[in-house]
Amino acid sequence: MDIIQAVVIGIVEGFTEFLPISSTGHMIVVSHFLGVKQSDIVKAYEVIIQFSAIVAVLFLYKDRLNIKNTPLWRNVIIASIPILTIGYIFKDFIKSIFSIEIVATMFIVGGVIFLIVEYFYSEDRIEVKEVDKISLKEALIVGFGQIFSLIPGTSRAGSTIIAGMLSGISRKASTEFSFLLAIPVMLAVSGYDLLKHYKEFLNIDPTPFIVGFTISFIVAYLTIKLLIAFLQKFTFVIFGIYRIAFGILLLILF
């Protein structure tokens, strides 16, 4: 992997990880056009840029890392348990069902679900407008909703946001809770992958990894801020339309 490839993949990861559009499908397309084949080195690189995205969330929400926000972090940890448990138990099965067709199909299905949910959704009827006000019950609903993201192409951000909106949480609060949920989930996944691929970090040129980490952090940081600002005025309809279009594109290309 050269510097240009590292930069492009870092940008794609940082931009798509926290948007409800699934980073998986985008990584497939970008890797294909860049001629980057899956290898142990590439997998190790993906661990690094995913970890970088987590650091961006921690940096943005560092003011919430204090004792007075204990109920919020309790909800985050509890809501993470379902996906970590199911993901670990069925990790081999999840890998076995991975295919371009499933990824593309779930892009389209997820897009349709977003359009349906937005059609019936009304902020006027929503009582939970701040992430700090999310109850344990609502957090659990989001946590179990996150399990659907184990299906390739579904999107972790998308499944948690939809679950939040369906449980009576505002778009903004659902999105912020999705960001926070990424911390324990992605830390666990990245840590597990790091243990599997740590040998790949020995005797390699660290430059692409350092560049990718930096690029992914900057792009993820800006994407999170822009998404929160976007939701002040707009809905997720555009993401639903985009998912359907991208899913169709995947089916045509592959």
pLDDT by 10-residue block (mean), the chain, 254 residues: 87 93 86 80 82 92 88 95 94 89 94 96 89 95 95 93 95 95 89 74 79 94 95 94 95 87
Q: What pLDDT does residue 3 have? A: 87
**20 is written with which tokens?**
């409800």
Distance CA 75, CA 144 (A): 12
Q: How far is CA 66 from CA 135, 174, 175, 184, in A?
A: 18, 21, 21, 16
Q: Specify the pTM.
A: 0.91
Angle separating helix axes 100-120 and 237-253, nearest 10 degrees: 160
Q: What pLDDT does residue 200 have? A: 67
Domains of the chain, by residue range, sit at: 3-253
Distance CA 11, CA 17 (A): 10
**157 is written with which tokens?**
């951000």
Q: What pLDDT does residue 103 have? A: 92
Q: What pLDDT does residue 197 have? A: 67
Distance CA 123, CA 222 (A): 25
Q: What pLDDT does residue 251 have? A: 92
